[in-house]
Structure 1
Amino acid sequence: MTIKKRGRPQKTAKALSHAEIIATAKTLMVNNGKIPSIRALSAELNVDAMAIYYYFKNKTVLLEELTASLITEMYQPKGGLAWEVQLRELSKSYLTLLSKYNGLLHTLLAMDATSPANVFIDRFTHITHGLNMSAAHSHAALNLFVDYLHGFSMAMSCNNADQLVVDDIDASLDIIFTGIKASL
């Protein structure tokens, strides 16, 4: 039986760190298919739950930092590529991320913090900036895009027979792109 020390983490050969907590939370999400509890996270790290709170003020702060670190794994826009190619890459990388980290979409939608959503919004805006859409059209296109991706992600997560895969969005994206072009 391992005895966990309470309170502030001790200086040891393998000291607990902010980065180690985030990395362990990501691993637990992949392995368990859900956002880990503080208790599960502390058990995996073999520390008292209060040691987690030494690095994160509360679970909300931990979840915000965890989701922000996951969202940065999405496609980063590159210059010189057509906007359709880049939006397709952004969409597929986002869906892949939501599929890999089960529970991420629900957490993102339930959060009060907007920093993870702003990463996607900033990348979408960067890609579509050259289209010179009006603010209203840009906002509508973003909402359409995000709503479609979230719906598709939910359908993928309910898909027990693995009949729905990320590449299945190609034809729908073509229709969305046609609509965006027509609105210009």
Structure 2
Amino acid sequence: MTIKKRGRPQKESKALSKEVIIETAKKLMISGGKIPSIRSLSAELNVDAMAIYYYFKNKSELLEELTTSLISEIYQPQKDLEWEVELRKLSKSYIVLLSKYDGLLQTLLSMKSASPANVFINRFKIIMNKLNMSTSIENASLNLLADYLHGFSISMSCDTTGKLTVDDIDESLDIIFTGINAYIANRKDNLTP
């Protein structure tokens, strides 16, 4: 029988840290298909649940740091590629991430914190900055893309045939890109004397 250490972790203990807790939670998400409970996380770490609360003041803080860490795994723009290439890479990496961690999308959509979403938004803005779009058009493009990606992710999770893959977003992304390019061309035509 394994005895769990109760209460606050020992100062000399190097085994438990925020990083170890987050990485363990990620592993449990992959194996369990959902955000792990504090109880299952503490059992996996072989510590008392209160030891986790030493590092995170509450479950919401843990959830925010976990989801932000997960979203940070998506594509980081390189700035030297065409915006369409960058946005396609960002979109596909997001879909792959949502597929890898079942339950992540539902968690993101139900969270009060915007920190995890801001990771995607900031990377989107780095890519779109090259286009000098108005803030309202950039936000409209972001909303359109995010809604499409979330819908596609839900479709993938419901696909019992396994035929739906991340590459199936290519044609839809082409349509979104065509719309953005048409907006840019129209704006340039209106600025020409």
Please list the CA deviations of residues 122-173 of structure 1 after superposition, one character each: whole Å capped at 9, or x if unmatched.
1111101111211111111000000000000011111122111101000110
Could you tell me how far apart the structure 1 residues matched to 2:47 and 2:80 are?
48
Aligned to 1:16: 16
Counting aligned pairs with the same residue, the percent is: 70
For 1:87, the equivalent position in structure 2 comes to: 87
Matches within 5 A, 1:89-104: 89-104=89-104
The answer to whether the 8 Å contact 1:9/1:15 transfers is: no
Question: Is 1:71 paired with 2:66?
Answer: no
C-alpha distance after superposition, 1:15-73 (max 9, x if no partner): 21111100000000011111000000000001111110001000000000001111111
The one-letter code of the counterpart of 1:112 is K
3-state DSSP of counterpart to 1:2: coil
> Take 1:126 and 1:5, find their aligned partners in 2: how far apart are those partners?
45
The letter of the residue matching 2:107 is T
Residues 26 and 66 in structure 1, CA contact (< 8 A), matched pair in contact too: yes
Task: Confirm or deny: 8 A CA contact 2:33 2:101 kept in the other structure.
Answer: yes
Answer yes or no: is 1:149 the counterpart of 2:149: yes
1:181 partner letter: N
Taking the aligned partners of 1:161 and 1:84, their CA distance within structure 2 comes to: 30
Structure 1 segment 126-137 matched on structure 2, within 5 A: 126-137=126-137
CA RMSD of aligned residues (A): 1.1
Alpha-carbon distance in structure 1 between the residues aligned to 2:65 and 2:56: 9
Instruction: Work out the CA distance in 2 between the residues paired with 1:13 and 1:67.
Output: 26
Taking structure 2 as the reference length, the TM-score comes to: 0.92
What is the CA–CA distance in structure 2 between the aligned matches of 1:35 and 1:127, rounded to whole Å? 30
The separation in 2 between residues aligned to 1:181 and 1:15, in whole angstroms, is 52
Q: Distance in 2 between matches of 1:96 and 1:45?
A: 27
Gaps of 5+ in 1: none
Structure 2 equivalent of residue 27 of structure 1: 27
Asked if 2 retains the 8 angstrom alpha-carbon contact of 1:7 and 1:48, the reply is yes
Q: What amino acid sits opposite 1:131 in the alignment?
A: L
C-alpha distance in structure 2 between counterparts of 1:30 and 1:174, whole Å: 31
Partners of 1:125 and 1:84 in 2: CA distance: 13
Gaps spanning 5+ residues in structure 2: where? Answer: 185-193
2:19 partner amino acid: A
Give the letter aligned to residue 18 of structure 1. Answer: K
The letter for the 2-side match of 1:67 is T
The letter of the residue matching 1:45 is L
1:38 aligned partner: 38
Rg comparison, structure with higher value: 2
Contact 2:5 2:46 in 1 (8 A): no
Change (3 A) 1:122 1:13: closer
Rounded to whole Å, the distance in 2 between the matches of 1:80 and 1:169 is 23
